[in-house]
């Protein structure tokens, strides 16, 4: 009797395993919700709109903008322009036309096209700078340079609803050890010596636009890396390496990411903190950094950055989640409707890790103070002449650019100054100011038509009526479709199966 029951239980278990296997296989091949790219073959005329001149910070009223062949052809008074008979007319009355947005610190993953990539266009973000490409081919998580280039070509050819990826960074350089965690990487990925740093740069030369440095690269290795990067014509971007002063880093990097480095480097213990890295004893006393903050030391950093032309990407959303990770502000954020449970699980691991380090009320308040002080210092950096860029480094595509714009206004920038950080200045960063960042003849037709004035309130950038990407008109109905598709993907079991399958096919440990 007992044996028969065990056999039955085993049979049921095998049947359950088989059923799960079949469901998983079906999920891998089950088609996902899709959104087709728009291809507008006729000219598009935005009639009688208020054009936002972001560079000048003014509104030009009663303007008509004619778009054809993916470019802005004419901008002028309503009475002065004769429109082609086949032009698609878009009513711009009581609406505001501005350049589309950039995200200058994003991560487009291998699985992003399965998830929220269309949201970039849905929220008016048409160009991005990606901050980490794969360490080796067939990585299931990190996209490779050839992926970025393929997606950009497809976007430009009206085959993909997604942004152009204008800048690609290498896998991050973080000192010895990383090559041992991922099978098959060359030893020089450990970047333990000056020679390995040079090999790393040469490996990525011609594949990426920039080498990304991280926290724990040693000073002598860093200087060899930046020297080699200069020789091969590749930029260096990323974190301020913890063992090197911000003033020194400003001389060598095109951009420095994340606001926290200013606090690390502007209190009397900064030098000792840098020296602790070599001893393996790095430990942040955030309360000390806040209580002993020296504005003159911060001003010296800003002066060095301004003199060297070093760009600053504060990514305040990342510090906000550190500060408020247990609050409804983060855990009930409406943008989470676009986040797949697998991605949310990974994100919550990071959120909870920060909280678990010290969940005491005093420690949590210190994190909040740290975040708010970072905002204050970004405002000071801007006033000192440091060029600030909008970059999110956050969890959902497109929509978070608008959140980061609001963070910059909280930091003390005016709405128009924040908009420049997401339009005019990114184009300048890439030397593309003749193509992007303005509503002017000859520019690529990447535009957002808003129902409210963004210069009055930065949150009005979310009042989107239409997006023009690459000359193609994404009207409100199409933007709503993009939102619906992204939400469906976020709740899709088949998308989850596809993500897991990528890792089964190409297992890599990080």
**Whole-number percent of the chain with pLDDT over 70:** 97
Comparing CA positions, the residue from 203, 217, 194 lying closest to residue 136 is 203
| Comparison of pLDDT for 422 and 509, the residue scoring more | 422
Comparing CA positions, the residue from 254, 199, 256, 193 lying closest to residue 232 is 199
Report the relative pairing of strands 255-257 and 88-91 from DSSP bridges. unpaired
Nearby residues of 35 by Cβ (< 8 Å), 6 or more positions away: 118, 161, 481, 482, 485
Question: For residues 163 and 155, is the Cβ–Cβ distance under 8 A?
Answer: yes
Q: In Å, how far are 177, 196, 255, 361 from 217, measured between CA atoms?
A: 11, 12, 17, 33
CA distance 228 to 503: 34
CA distance 388 to 321: 21
pTM, two decimal places: 0.95
pLDDT (0 to 100) of residue 509: 59
Could you tell me the two tokens for 84?
Answer: 């082609």
Comparing CA positions, the residue from 159, 128, 149, 143 lying closest to residue 35 is 159
The mean pLDDT value for 477-484 works out to: 98
pLDDT at 226 over 70: yes
Quickly count helices (H) and strands (E) in the chain. Answer: 20, 15
Could you tell me the two tokens for 361?
Answer: 């009320």
Q: pLDDT band for 508, please (50, 70, 90 cuts).
A: low
Burial 146-179 (b: 16+ CB within 10 A, else e): ebbeebbeebeebebbbbbbbbbbbbbbbbbebb
Angle 507-508-510 (CA atoms, 0-180°, nearest 5)?
Answer: 145
Tell me how crowded residue 289 is: count the other CB atoms within 10 A of its CB.
Answer: 24
pLDDT at 116 over 80: yes
What is the residue whose two structure tokens read 């085959």? 159
Comparing CA positions, the residue from 401, 506, 384, 508 lying closest to residue 462 is 401
pLDDT (0 to 100) of residue 3: 66
**98 beta partners:** 448
pLDDT at 9 over 80: no
- Least confidently predicted of 46-55, 94-103, 146-155, 275-284: 275-284
- The helix or strand, by DSSP H or E, that contains position 258, with its residue range, turns out to be none
Secondary structure (H, E, C), 293-361: CCHHHHHHHHHHHHHHCCEEECCHHHHHHHHHCCCHHHHCCHHHHHCCHHHHHHHHHHHHHHHHHCCCH
pLDDT per residue over 319-370, tens digit each?
Answer: 999 999 999 999 999 999 999 999 999 999 999 999 999 999 999 999 999 9
Q: pLDDT band for 179, please (50, 70, 90 cuts).
A: low
pLDDT per residue over 32-86, tens digit each?
Answer: 899 999 999 999 999 999 999 999 999 999 999 999 999 999 999 988 888 999 9
The mean pLDDT value for 408-434 works out to: 98
Question: For residues 143 and 109, is the Cβ–Cβ distance under 8 A?
Answer: yes
């Amino acid at each position: 009797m007992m044996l028969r029951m065990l056999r039955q239980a085993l049979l049921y278990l095998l049947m359950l395993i088989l059923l799960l296997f079949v469901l998983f296989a079906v999920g891998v091949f089950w088609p996902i919700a899709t959104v087709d790219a728009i291809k507008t073959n006729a000219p598009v005329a935005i009639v009688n709109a208020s054009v936002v001149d972001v560079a000048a910070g003014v509104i030009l009223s009663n303007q008509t903008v004619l778009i054809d062949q993916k470019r802005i052809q004419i901008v002028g008074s309503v009475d002065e322009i004769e429109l082609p008979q086949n032009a698609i007319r878009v009513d711009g009355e009581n609406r505001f036309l501005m350049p589309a947005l950039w995200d200058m610190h994003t991560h487009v993953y291998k699985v992003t096209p399965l998830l929220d990539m269309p949201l970039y266009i849905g929220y008016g973000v048409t160009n991005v700078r990606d901050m980490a490409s794969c360490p080796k081919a067939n990585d299931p998580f990190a996209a490779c340079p050839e992926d970025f280039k393929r997606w950009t070509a497809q976007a430009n050819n009206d085959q993909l609803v997604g942004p152009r990826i204008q800048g690609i960074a290498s896998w991050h350089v973080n000192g010895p050890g990383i090559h041992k965690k991922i099978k098959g990487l060359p030893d020089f990925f450990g970047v333990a010596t000056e020679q390995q740093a040079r090999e790393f740069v040469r490996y990525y030369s011609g594949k990426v636009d920039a080498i990304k440095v991280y926290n724990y690269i040693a000073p002598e290795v860093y200087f060899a890396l930046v020297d080699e990067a200069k020789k091969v014509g590749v930029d260096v971007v990323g974190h301020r390496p913890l063992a090197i002063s911000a003033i020194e880093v400003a001389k060598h990097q095109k951009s420095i990411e994340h606001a926290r480095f200013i606090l690390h480097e502007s209190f009397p213990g900064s030098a000792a903190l840098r020296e602790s890295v070599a001893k393996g004893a790095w430990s942040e006393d955030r309360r000390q950094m806040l209580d002993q903050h020296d504005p003159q030391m911060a001003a010296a950093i800003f002066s060095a950055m301004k003199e060297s032309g070093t760009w600053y990407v504060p990514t305040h959303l990342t510090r906000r989640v550190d500060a408020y990770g247990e609050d409804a502000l983060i855990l009930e954020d409406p943008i989470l409707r676009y986040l797949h449970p697998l991605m949310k699980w990974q994100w919550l691991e990071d959120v909870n890790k920060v909280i678990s380090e010290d969940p005491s009320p005093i420690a949590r308040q210190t994190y909040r103070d740290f975040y708010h002080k970072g905002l204050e210092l970004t405002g000071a950096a801007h006033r000192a002449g440091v060029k600030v860029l909008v970059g999110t480094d956050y969890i959902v595509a497109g929509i978070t650019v608008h959140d980061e714009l609001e963070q910059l206004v909280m930091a003390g920038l005016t709405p128009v100054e924040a908009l420049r950080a997401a339009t005019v200045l990114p184009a300048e960063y890439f030397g593309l100011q003749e193509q992007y960042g303005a509503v002017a003849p000859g520019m690529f037709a990447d535009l957002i038509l808003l129902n409210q004035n963004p210069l009055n309130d930065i949150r009005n950038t979310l009042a989107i009526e239409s997006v023009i990407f690459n000359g193609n008109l994404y009207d409100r109905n199409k933007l709503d479709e993009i939102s619906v598709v992204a939400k469906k993907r976020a709740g899709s079991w088949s998308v989850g199966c596809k993500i897991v399958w990528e890792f089964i096919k190409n297992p890599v440990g990080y």
